[in-house]
Amino acid sequence: MVNRYFVYSLIFSRTPEKAYRFLCFQKRAKGYYFSGKGAGGGTIVPNGQPLKGAAKFALPGGQFDGKDWTNLPDVLAQCQKELTEECGRQIHFVSNTQIVAAGGVSGEDETVHAVATVKQWDVNLGSTKGYAALYLQVPDKELEVIAGYIGTCMQQRDDATLKITNGEWGAGDYGKLAAAFPMAPMDDEIHLMSPAYYVIAVDGFAKDPFIAALLNDSDTDWFGTIISALPDISN
């Protein structure tokens, strides 16, 4: 049996009051397109594919398909890859500490500097043996820039799924996605929540009800653990 591992990303900032503020996402009920094998680099699912953890809190991420789970640069690269696939095709990393969101809301590339940290956890759940999180700490004012950019990417995703549900695009039309909606995520799996942020005071982690709810749900407990580790990660 091949061991499986998973990777996620958490984008956060510290407010002037030193509270922690991070972007929140939610798993969609169905996904209508996915990158990977298929014509044009992916597959369209005309009737939608039900997603595990539907309507629950989620972080951008997925299964690790790198070469070496013990190699942190490999894990980091996989976290970055999943973030791009689920949040916006034109988000890319020019270095481990610099994120470029091409063609932002203003039409110009948005460059955000971040402090990147990777943390791993071991689990023993059948073939699943671990998960990791890429923590991207950005200046507090830049968190809103990122949220706005991802929101635009998600709107393009919504426009793309409308073409699918209206019957304009079929199973073999994934290749049309990048040309028609160049900022849309490559995978239709999550959306930005409203409000897009959650704030936890510096001394609020132990009793935060949001974290407690995540930890008590088997679909979201890893996310609760990732968020709980923020005080050990940030500057």
The average pLDDT across 166-193 equals: 95
Q: What is the mean pLDDT of residues 122-147?
A: 94
Residues 151-167 have pLDDT tens digits of: 999 999 999 999 999 99
Q: What is the mean pLDDT of residues 68-81?
A: 92
| pLDDT tens per residue, range 186-197 | 999 999 999 999
Q: Considering the chain, what percentage of its residues have pLDDT values greater than 70?
A: 90
pLDDT of the residue at 233: 87
Q: Is the pLDDT of residue 80 over 80?
A: yes
**For residue 217, what pLDDT is reported?**
98
Check residue 105 and give its pLDDT: 43
For the chain, the first-to-last Cα distance in angstroms comes to 40
How confident is the model at residue 159, as a pLDDT?
98
Over residues 9-25, mean pLDDT: 96
Residue predicted with more confidence, 94 or 79: 79
pLDDT of residue 235: 63
- pLDDT of residue 176 exceeding 70, the answer is yes
pLDDT at site 104: 45
Distances (CA, A) of 70 to 36, 61, 131, 158, 216: 25, 18, 11, 37, 29
Question: Residue 59's closest CA among 229, 233, 234, 226?
Answer: 226
**pLDDT, averaged across the chain:** 91
Q: Specify the pLDDT at position 110.
A: 61
Top-confidence residue, 27 or 109: 27
Sign of the C-alpha dihedral computed for residues 66, 10, 188 and 40 taken in this order: negative
| DSSP conformation class of 192 | E
Identify the burial level of 161 via C-beta atoms within 10 angstroms of its C-beta, where 0-12 means exposed, 13-18 middle and 19 or more buried: buried
Looking at residue 112, its pLDDT comes to 73
Tokens found for residue 80: 């970055």
Give the pLDDT confidence of 88-121 residue by residue, as tens digits.
988 766 555 555 555 444 455 566 778 889 999 9
